[in-house]
Structure 1
Amino acid sequence: MTLEISIKLVPDKIFWKNSVKEVILPTLSGQMGILTNHIPVLTGLDTGLLLVRDASSSNWVTFVVTGGFALVNENKITILVNEAEFGSDVNVQEAEEAYLASKVALESNSDVTRKFELNSQFKKARARFQLVQSSKNIG
């Protein structure tokens, strides 16, 4: 048995849809694994890595997502996010540079409003950086 996953971008564009074996969501309280016959759940998503194990090949497909929600019900997962990016599309050099620049900007800024914006940028850059670092360790 498989899970049907649909990743949608706000307002209503389907980014990716497939049958999968397993999903690991970046929720607001940490990672959440989803397998077939999971109890119904609605959870908030944080900016981070969304991992999906393909049903046909058992390979992992990785996405960088920026906030949203996930609904799990009757072996269907609907993910609604503001932004999504295939892990395979992430440029290693750009990810590393953006991570370092956003980290410095966040640490050196004292304006509370600006710090909130910089934190969002940092979380996205960190997720992309984690992705390229894990790819380096695997390869």
Structure 2
Amino acid sequence: MADFNFELVSPERLLLSERVSEVVIPATEGEMTVMANHAPTMTTIKPGVVTVKAVDGKVTRYVVFGGFADILPTGCTLLAESAVPVSEMDAKLIEKRIDATKSELDDGSHSDEHKTRLEQFLAELTQLNGIVVAF
């Protein structure tokens, strides 16, 4: 099976940089599986779980809170707004983000467009909360 370079980067740290066989990312338009020789693509990322399958078959998962991915035939770089390995995930972290988003929505001083984006983000965080509890 062909492999490619994958990097997962957040503002806090480089979480992963290695050769992998596939990566499933939570793209804004739906989950995408990235493999070697993928067509060049750039996509935004919604809050969700990134699943990484290493060349040796080991699977690791990371929770991301948005960002974007740059995909090339030889590799993929995911720049996350924030990311943490699922093994280090604390449910309170998602709850804090949900509460902060609700507070921002309750502020009421936002344009309709911004309010719609906040509502979408809140829905994505709520869905992510249910997914992470399953791990």
Shared fold, TM over 0.5: yes
Letter in 2 for 1:111: G
TM-score (norm 2): 0.74
Q: CA deviation at 1:122?
A: 5.6
Structure 2 CA distance for partners of 1:36 and 1:132, relative to 1, 3 Å: same
The answer to whether 1:111 aligns with 2:112 is: no
Give the count of matched residue pairs: 126
Unaligned runs of 5+ in 2: none
Aligned counterpart, 2:88: 89
Structure 2 CA distance for partners of 1:27 and 1:61, relative to 1, 3 Å: same
Aligned counterpart, 1:61: 60
Moved over 6 A (4+): none
The answer to whether 1:8 aligns with 2:9 is: yes
Q: CA deviation at 1:72?
A: 1.1
Task: Give distance in 1, aligned partners of 2:65 and 2:4.
Answer: 22
Q: CA deviation at 1:75?
A: 2.2
| Contact in 2 for aligned 1:95/1:125 (Cα 8 Å) | no
Letter in 2 for 1:74: P
TM-score (norm 1): 0.72
Q: Which whole-Å deviations, capped at 9, do the CAs of 1:69-89 have from their partners, x for residues lacking one? A: 111113211111110010111
Task: Give distance in 1, aligned partners of 2:18 and 2:126.
Answer: 26
Letter in 1 for 2:75: K
Q: Give the SS at the match of 1:127.
A: helix
Task: Give distance in 1, aligned partners of 2:39 and 2:120.
Answer: 33
Task: Give distance in 2, aligned partners of 1:72 and 1:79.
Answer: 8
